[in-house]
Amino acid sequence: MSQFKYNRLDKANVAVLLVDHQTGLTNLVQDFSPDDFKNGVLAMADIAEYFKLPTILTTSFEDGPNGPLVPELKEKFPKAPYIARPGNINAWDNEDFVKAVKATGKKQLLIAGIVTEVCVAFPALSALEEGYEVFVVADASGTFNQTTREAAWLRMQRAGAQMMTWFGVACELHRDWRNDIEGLATLFSNHLPSYRCLMQSYDAGRKAGKR
8 Å CB contact between 132 and 18: no
d(Cα 53, Cα 46) in Å, to the nearest integer? 10
d(Cα 9, Cα 141) in Å, to the nearest integer? 19
CB atoms within 10 A of CB 74: 15
DSSP 92-126: GG-HHHHHHHHHH--SEEEEEEBSIIIIIHHHHHH
d(Cα 12, Cα 79) in Å, to the nearest integer? 19
Among residues 37, 30, 39, 74, which one has the least CA distance to residue 55?
74
Q: Which residues are catalytic?
A: 119
